[in-house]
Amino acid sequence: MRVPRTSGDRGATRLTVVVVLLWAIALGLGAYLIWHSQTNASSVESPTTSSAVAAASTTTSQPVTTTTQAPTTTTTVPDVLTVAAGGDVQGDRQVGNFLDKNGGEAIFTEVKPYMEPADLAFVNLEGPISDTGTRNGSKEYTFRSRPALLDGLVSTGINMVSLANNHSLDYRWAALKDCIARLDAADIAHAGAGGDFNEASAPTMIDAPAGTVALIAASEITVSFASSSTRAGTYYTSSPNKGLLKNVTETAKKVDFLIVSLHWGTEYSPNANSHQISLAHALVDAGADLVLGHHPHVIQALEIYNDRLIAYSLGDFVWDWHSAYAGEAFVLQVEVPRDGPPSGRVIPVFLNRSTGAPAIVTEDTADRILGRLKSLSAKRGLELTRDGPILTFGDPGPEWF
């Protein structure tokens, strides 16, 4: 049986409905406010994001103009090596007296402008620069150069010397060892002598603007000075010179330019002998780019063989002489290209009889020196051209002096 509702029951029911509706509206409004707040927050971009989006939009909608240019190379490597060369140098006897009074720089004053500008400036150093050692009494002529001579080499720009000659051991190994240490300290490259054969025969290297330059220096004079695996001395070589030629071939493969210096020939003879000529040609065929000879104490011919220059004897360069013929000398300036024939100049020099100091000469003395070298070289097939006070060959560039 159904129980009938009273008026109180109906009032209570209405109240309940109202409360429920109000509660539902409150819940709905709260949910809406939460949803609206989250939606607004997600639509606000940070400055970084906004910029990135803008940049991306620009990149995809418009072509990008690149303002950075590719780097350009402003440094070029010269393809020509410049070499200045002089002959035999010693700092003993009357030359030593001059050095004691005037210092090392004074001995090279006049030739410095012709040597210093070169990438590489070379001389043959006869006798160690030292103040130690015991004189070799078995020799008639011995040289030990004053330490001041080193100052002269440095100030003149001479940065490469040969020690392969018949005076390197005039004051035994003690003086030669001291000389090598002094050259190393002065940053002057040297070759041709050392504490054993490996050191004596090793090429010395210089990094020049045109590339890496090696010097191999050897001597055919005074076999008693020859180094061995257990003995200090010079890089001694003799016919058929197979070891030297092999050394040249192997070294040439490792460097840009190779200079070979030879102490050879007959003293005071103006003519290169047949052995000098055949060996010089073999050295060029083996890879030498420039051959510089010394020992005769007088000048001998220049020759170009297979596009490479050979100077059979540069004569003396700093020496107190007993014959005016031996006082004739020159500065050889050579431009050695990677390919093709060399060019260069010959600047006449005459040595002071008592002091040995080299001086640039003109007029009659220059005529005599240049005329002699021109005649000797013509016999070897090289026509030297007289250009005022000097001789030239090839097509030399601007003057160095």
Position 20 pLDDT exceeds 90: no
Position 23 pLDDT exceeds 50: no
**pLDDT given for residue 212 in this prediction:** 98
At residue 288, what are phi and psi to the nearest 5 degrees? -70, 135
The model's confidence at residue 311, banded by pLDDT at 50, 70 and 90, is very high
Contacting residues for 33 by C-beta, under 8 A, at least 6 apart:
none
**pLDDT given for residue 39 in this prediction:** 43
Amino acid at 39: T
If you average pLDDT over residues 30-42, what whole number do you get? 45
The radius of gyration of the chain from alpha carbons, rounded to an integer in Å, stands at: 42
**pLDDT given for residue 322 in this prediction:** 85
Interior CA angle at 293 toward 383 and 250, to 5°?
105
Residue in the structure block whose two tokens are 């040297």 = 190
Q: What percent of the chain has pLDDT over 90?
A: 79
Taking only the tens place, the pLDDT of each residue in 234-282 is: 999 999 999 999 999 999 999 999 999 999 999 999 999 999 999 999 9
Read off the tokens for 48.
Answer: 């970084």
302-305 and 257-263 beta bridge pairing: unpaired
343-351 and 328-337 beta bridge pairing: antiparallel
Query: CA-CA distances (angstroms) from residue 225 to 171, 290, 323?
Result: 12, 25, 27
Position 351 pLDDT exceeds 60: yes
Query: CA-CA distances (angstroms) from residue 3 to 8, 9, 10, 42, 43?
Result: 14, 12, 13, 58, 59
Angle at which helix 93-102 crosses helix 148-156, to 10 degrees, equals 80
If you average pLDDT over residues 142-168, what whole number do you get? 98
Read off the tokens for 317.
Answer: 């360069």
Domains of the chain: 80-393 (3.60.21.10)
**pLDDT given for residue 75 in this prediction:** 56
Taking only the tens place, the pLDDT of each residue in 49-95 is: 333 333 333 333 344 444 444 444 445 778 899 999 999 999 999 99
Taking only the tens place, the pLDDT of each residue in 165-205 is: 999 999 999 999 999 999 999 999 999 999 999 999 999 99
If you average pLDDT over residues 128-134, what whole number do you get? 98
Rounded CA-CA distance 301/347 in Å is: 15
Question: CB–CB of 273/302 below 8 Å?
Answer: no
Rounded CA-CA distance 298/304 in Å is: 20
**pLDDT given for residue 33 in this prediction:** 45
Neighbours of 208 (CB within 10 A): 18
Picking from 106, 110, 155, 89, the residue whose alpha carbon sits closest to that of residue 362 is: 110
The model's confidence at residue 371, banded by pLDDT at 50, 70 and 90, is very high
The model's confidence at residue 400, banded by pLDDT at 50, 70 and 90, is confident
The model's confidence at residue 4, banded by pLDDT at 50, 70 and 90, is very low
Position 131 pLDDT exceeds 80: yes
Q: What percent of the chain has pLDDT over 70?
A: 81
Rounded CA-CA distance 72/311 in Å is: 41
Mean pLDDT of the chain: 87
Position 326 pLDDT exceeds 90: yes
The model's confidence at residue 96, banded by pLDDT at 50, 70 and 90, is very high
